[in-house]
Amino acid sequence: MNADKAGGLFWLSVAVVVSYASYRLGIGSFSSPGAGFMPFYAAIFLGVLSLISILGKAGGVKKEKGAPPIIGIKGIKGAFIFVVLMAYGFFIPFLGYNITTFLLMVILFFIVEKQKVWKAALYAFIATATTYYVFSKWLNCQFPLGPLGF
């Protein structure tokens, strides 16, 4: 069994558990969704993707042989991104959404995507401002406020 099939089986089992728990919460309907509506359909989507992974790659794409991703540069980048996202989750209550998201995006653009500092800062500002405006102003979501009050 290769890694794609093993991962597919794992995510399929997660999809089954989440869909069952969501069904027990109550799915509701499209016009009147229940508490389990979104997780149920997300789990169905995850299950379909898992089945595709288990049954094989579409289009007959062959995998390259070499070191597993966890050992190579992709694995190191993945671990770095994981640590940065964990730090983001830790610092967001203290620094607030805008400051923490801006710093996260600068780190991701500068270190992971190898952008110049000014481009990373510009892209991070645009991404942070856009997401804040859309979610805070249009959708009325509340974000944690930072020490500067925004």
- Residue with the bigger pLDDT between 60 and 52: it is 52
* Inter-residue contact 84 to 42 (CB < 8 Å): no
In angstroms, the CA 43 to CA 37 distance is 10
Mean pLDDT of the region 124-145: 87
In angstroms, the CA 41 to CA 7 distance is 20
- Using a 10 angstrom Cβ sphere, with 0-12 exposed, 13-18 middle and 19 or more buried, the burial of residue 108 is buried
pLDDT of residue 71: 61
* Inter-residue contact 91 to 100 (CB < 8 Å): yes
pLDDT of residue 28: 86
Residue 129 pLDDT grade (very low, low, confident, very high; cuts 50, 70, 90): very high
- Residue with the bigger pLDDT between 134 and 67: it is 134
In angstroms, the CA 111 to CA 76 distance is 12
pLDDT of residue 125: 94
Mean pLDDT of the region 107-116: 83
Instruction: Quickly list H helices, the chain.
Output: 3-25, 37-55, 73-95, 97-107, 117-132
pLDDT of residue 76: 76
* Inter-residue contact 14 to 21 (CB < 8 Å): no
Statement: residue 56 has pLDDT above 60 = yes
Statement: residue 88 has pLDDT above 70 = yes
In angstroms, the CA 108 to CA 84 distance is 9
In angstroms, the CA 123 to CA 131 distance is 12
